[in-house]
Structure 1
Amino acid sequence: MKLNLGILAAAAATLLTYATHLNSLNLTAMPFMLDTYEQGWEFYDHSEWLQGEFAKLPDVGFRVLATWEAGFRSFTTNEPLSSPADAATMKMRVYPNDMIRWSMEAIGFQTVVMPITDVYLAIQQGTVNGQENPVDTIKSLRFNEVAPYLTLTRHVYSPLPLTISEKSWQSFSDEDKAAVLKAGEEAATFSRELVKSSVDAQLEEMVTAGAKVSTPDITPFREAVTSVYDKAREVYGDEVVDSVLADTARIREMKPAQ
């Protein structure tokens, strides 16, 4: 990664990008752990486990300054997707990450790993039937044009941590570090509110352009991916997986702030 080598000073990318350096971060992509943006913010800002993982990142060359928003991952396909039964005949492009791939295969898809830059043409040519990403990404990359069925499963909360290379960070004065942290946090607040408030309008624009948006019964999808937690336990250990799941379960039960 160019960031940890000091070639890039800062970046905002999905946390799974950094899992190649700290593989426990893959656990943030376990399916259906969080239901709302506010729950995601609580997890990324205050989870004792996740803050502990973030604290390990400077040792591999970068650190998290704040968490910008991207939203929840959902499907866009060229055929209707109302339940896991529909997935059995579909090929799904997946992000190159085991946790995401396990979830897609548990739902029933055949999975195809490919760069996101190849996905539009791959759907258009019939190589795959669809892909999964946050609504903002679906719209900005125009996936709805070739895969007009948007199925809002919201199966993984997928924000964008703002990170800085440790080399750059250590070159700053204490005053500069405080200013950078403040700017990152202010930008995170703006990003979170912007993305959360934009989703409905983005969906409406895509519907106007011909997309068909649906919110399926999530229960069959949740039931289909229970094996993913077992696979995670095999790879990462019972203790840490159960700790993360307990943490997110606690957050889901919290009452929203008034």
Structure 2
Amino acid sequence: MNMKRLAATAVIFAATGFAPALAQTVVNIGHGVQTGHPTHIGLLKLAELVKERTDGKVVIQVYPDRQLGEEREMVEGLQLGTVEMTVVSTGPVVNFVPEAGVLDLPFLFENSAHAYKVFDGDIGKELLAKFDGADMVGLAIWENGWRHLSAKKAVEKPSDLSGMKLRTMQNPVHMRAFEALGASPIPMAWGEVFTSLGQGVIDGQENPITIFYTNSLWEVQSHIALTGHVYGPHMVLASKSVWESWPEEVRTAVLEALPDATAFQRSESLRLETEQAELLRERGVNIAKIDTTPFREKAQAVYSSFDFDPALLERIRAVAAE
């Protein structure tokens, strides 16, 4: 057991004086979204379940809103062992596990139920296993939400994106998709987005409703087009070195609580998206349903730009019919 890695873990001896008994382990989890986001709420539920099921012997501390760094920094921290666990978008992840980029292909999933079947089934397990080779442990796939376009003007068709300086994640799949749609993608760390929108450095961005609302983007953006161009996963990850240093009781407690926390997080995502869309309308944001057919047609060019396994794509599509 790596005692340096377990500095936060107190170990006492049982009454026999021979077998060590776990007293308390503190698990630190960082993420990049606000406290009103379903991922933060889901992590609080995970902490509650783990504490309850271990009689307080495992305590999860949640650090929201990039307190442990931007998403890429937290992923790098996992590899170094300086960050224990995190929940991040696929934006920075594809730089470490390229295979995860398949989830970012535009219009890949038909609906949320389709995505859940993929994530919770064999395909999701196979993708999560890929993180082992990058010194991380892939634990679960949560929901960031369906990504939509926002701008200072209405967007109804791909030609409306012509020349638009659009913030994207630092994700090559997303960037190529918006190039195909006619925009000028600008990869940017999330902490710079609000100010850049306000100053006109960028014209628009794309994110789920919950991100738009919890970051008060209505102050700098007046229109949302419900493109639903990408389903946004949130990856629940652990540092491999830290994970392996924890006592088995800690790993088991987290693994056993994750399915319930995952279901709760997804249900909160749906609830909050519906509620927050109405709140945005009350704040004067124009949220428009649009015909996504021309966006779908143009975005298909992205599929041939990346070397994703065709058999995997067919498996993902086939899950929708199961």
TM-score, normalization: structure 1?
A: 0.91
Does the residue aligned with 2:201 lie in a helix, a strand or coil?
A: coil
1:143 corresponds, among 195, 209, 217, to: 217
Q: What are the within-5 Å matches in structure 2 for residues 97-136 of structure 1?
A: 97-136=171-210
Tell me the distance in 1 between the aligned counterparts of 2:217 and 2:111: 24
1:224 aligns with 2:224: no
Shift of 1:164: 1.1
Shift of 1:58: 1.9
Q: What are the within-5 Å matches in structure 2 for residues 42-61 of structure 1?
A: 42-48=117-123, 50-61=124-135
1:190 corresponds, among 264, 267, 272, to: 264
Alignment RMSD: 1.5
1:159 aligns with 2:233: yes
1:36 corresponds, among 101, 108, 111, to: 111
1:252 aligns with 2:320: yes
The question of whether the paired residues in 2 share the 8 Å contact of 1:94 and 1:111 is answered with: yes
Name the structure with the higher helix share: 1
The question of whether the paired residues in 2 share the 8 Å contact of 1:75 and 1:131 is answered with: yes
Does the residue aligned with 2:224 lie in a helix, a strand or coil?
A: strand
Tell me the distance in 2 between the aligned counterparts of 1:83 and 1:149: 14
Larger Rg: 2
Shift of 1:178: 1.6
CA displacement 1:106-138 (0-9 Å, x = unmatched): 111012222222212222222211000111111
What runs of 5+ residues in structure 2 fail to find an aligned partner? 1-75
What runs of 5+ residues in structure 1 fail to find an aligned partner? none
Residue type at the aligned position of 1:170:
E
Tell me the distance in 2 between the aligned counterparts of 1:244 and 1:214: 33
2:96 corresponds, among 18, 21, 37, to: 21
Tell me the distance in 1 between the aligned counterparts of 2:257 and 2:194: 35
The question of whether the paired residues in 1 share the 8 Å contact of 2:152 and 2:203 is answered with: yes
TM-score, normalization: structure 2?
A: 0.73
The question of whether the paired residues in 2 share the 8 Å contact of 1:68 and 1:187 is answered with: no
Tell me the distance in 2 between the aligned counterparts of 1:13 and 1:30: 17
Identical positions, percent: 26
Task: Give aligned pairs, total.
Answer: 247
The question of whether the paired residues in 2 share the 8 Å contact of 1:37 and 1:196 is answered with: no
Tell me the distance in 1 between the aligned counterparts of 2:267 and 2:134: 31
Match of 1:72 in 2: 146
Shift of 1:47: 4.0
- Flag as ranges the 4+ runs of structure 1 deviating above 3 A: none
Higher relative contact order (CA 8 A, sep 6+): 1
Does the residue aligned with 1:100 lie in a helix, a strand or coil?
A: helix
1:3 aligns with 2:78: yes
